[in-house]
């Protein structure tokens, strides 16, 4: 009996080890739209930091993904959460430009399904993280889902090129062929290849296969009122990985701000 118990324990340990294998985790998470950012080190605000590995969404959360979230809240009668999480499309009406077409169609029209969701508050982004954690669990993935910490975001943005100014090599915003490497404020709205926002997985991925870490939409991080990355209306200086805060530490919804999530996997059931 003692021998049998020991054998069963060993088999259980082998099964557990297999279920947590990096290869299996990466395969499961890739299907969910995440890439693995390996452990490493980075410097933030002059402080050297060690970063543990984590999964990060390859592109910003899309309109389609966010609509699924809102529809689920509504279906489950979570009225309070729905009110907080709902997209504030009226924010497209800016002081210097009334973007009525974007207000009416950007979040709801299928043509914008794969574009990043904007006009959601930082609290709304956190609610999405809680919801996604529940969805992953229902699909056999035990995980903690959250907004990235500043150090995690900075490290991920470098894509393995420490000391780089942008998520790519070099100090230019175009490659050798003259093609723009990010979506930001240029002399005209479409000069860089995008009309305001661009598809979440557009331009070129960095060394960790993450898209639009600079430009397109600024991204909420875990610190209250802070974003990183710059957006479609940003001046070039805000596309720098080490850029100062572009917004006045507001947690409110904006047509310039979206987000992406970070996941730490704790178990795989399937």
Does 189 score more than 80 pLDDT?
no
Give dist(CA 151, CA 145) in Å, integer.
16
* Inter-residue contact 173 to 181 (CB < 8 Å): yes
Taking alpha carbons only, the member of 212, 137, 142, 139 closest to residue 181 is: 212
- Span 122-175, pLDDT tens digits: 999 999 999 999 999 998 889 999 999 999 999 999 999 988 999 999 999 999
For the record, the structure tokens of 149 come out as 């910490």
- Span 77-135, pLDDT tens digits: 999 999 999 999 999 998 887 789 999 999 999 999 999 999 999 999 999 999 999 99
Give dist(CA 258, CA 213) in Å, integer.
12
User: CA dist 8 to 5, 11, 21, 237, 269, Å?
Assistant: 5, 5, 20, 59, 19
- Span 38-48, pLDDT tens digits: 999 999 999 99
The fraction of the chain above a pLDDT of 70, given in percent, is 92
Average pLDDT, the chain: 90
User: CA dist 122 to 88, 141, 169, 203, Å?
Assistant: 12, 25, 31, 26
Taking alpha carbons only, the member of 258, 255, 256 closest to residue 235 is: 256
Q: What are phi and psi of 98, to 5 degrees?
A: -95, 100
Does 193 score more than 90 pLDDT?
no
Q: What is the pLDDT of residue 269?
A: 67
């Amino acid at each position: 009996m003692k021998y049998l118990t020991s054998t069963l324990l060993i088999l259980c340990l082998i099964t557990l080890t297999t279920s947590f294998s990096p290869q299996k985790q990466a395969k499961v998470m890739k299907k969910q739209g995440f890439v693995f950012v390996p452990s490493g080190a980075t410097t933030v605000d002059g402080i050297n930091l060690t970063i543990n590995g984590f999964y990060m969404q390859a592109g910003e959360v899309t309109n389609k993904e966010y609509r699924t979230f809102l529809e689920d809240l509504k279906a489950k009668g979570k009225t309070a959460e729905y009110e907080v999480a709902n997209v504030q499309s009226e924010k497209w009406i800016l002081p210097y430009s009334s973007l009525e077409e974007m207000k009416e169609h950007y979040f709801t029209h299928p043509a914008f399904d794969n574009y990043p969701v904007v006009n959601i508050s930082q609290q709304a982004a956190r609610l999405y993280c809680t919801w996604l954690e529940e969805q992953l669990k229902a699909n056999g993935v035990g995980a903690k889902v959250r907004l990235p910490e500043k150090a995690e975001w900075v490290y991920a943005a470098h894509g393995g090129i420490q000391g780089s100014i942008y998520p790519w090599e070099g100090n230019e915003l175009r490659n050798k062929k003259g093609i723009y490497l990010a979506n930001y404020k240029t002399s005209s709205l479409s000069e860089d290849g995008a009309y305001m926002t661009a598809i979440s997985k557009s331009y070129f991925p960095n060394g960790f296969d993450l898209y639009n870490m600079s430009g397109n939409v600024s991204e909420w991080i875990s610190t209250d009122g802070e974003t990183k990355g710059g957006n479609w209306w940003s001046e070039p200086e805000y596309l720098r990985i080490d850029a100062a805060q572009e917004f006045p530490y507001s947690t409110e919804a904006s047509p310039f701000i979206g987000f992406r999530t970070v996941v730490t996997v704790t178990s795989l059931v399937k």
